[in-house]
Amino acid sequence: MKFSKATNYALHTMLFLVAAAPDKHIGVQQLAERQSVSPTYLSKILTKLVKAGMIESASGANGGYRLKRSWEDISFLDIIHAIEGTASLFDCDFNHGPDCLIQLVMVEAEDEMETYLKNKKMSDLARTVKLSKISL
């Protein structure tokens, strides 16, 4: 079980936008170069973020991707869900009654992680980046 690389690309792109360009359009070309990934691939990933309402895109010259107005509240969980989907990490396929005890525990465990990720906002992280001049 692993988080996908796509999620990593999405998280880094979002952090870059929030920390360095919260209002400018940035082309996928430039974003892709920073992460050494092909523009078309990154584009597919970012399109998911667009559909999830976190960023918006503009075609044509000087186009690119830009944060939406409501970016202050975007959490890690929002981004992860947009890329990986919202399905539970654990499925007990057996049909042994309506509630599988193991399933219940696993879902609760996942909830613990998700609660943490829901409370971590990109904007919090961006503040840290600016203070410490950490490179993205």
Interface residue list for DNA (CB under 7 A): 1, 4-6, 26-29, 37-41, 43-44, 46-47, 50, 57-65, 84
In the DSSP assignment, the letter for residue 125 is H
**CA dist., res. 49 & res. 107, Å (int):** 25
Binding interface with its own copies (CB under 8 A): 1-5, 7-8, 11-12, 15, 35, 76, 84, 87, 89-94, 96-97, 99, 101-102, 105-106, 108-110, 112-113, 115-117, 120, 125, 128-129, 134-136
Specify the DSSP element, H or E, that contains 19: helix 5-20
Distance in Å, CB of 46 to DNA, minimum: 5
CB count within 10 Å of CB 125 equals 18
Least distance in angstroms from the C-beta of 63 to its own copies: 26
Residue 44's binding partner out of DNA, its own copies, none, with CB under 5 to 8 Å set by partner kind: DNA
Which pair of tokens denotes residue 64?
Answer: 């690119």
Give the helix/strand (H/E) hosting 64: strand 64-67
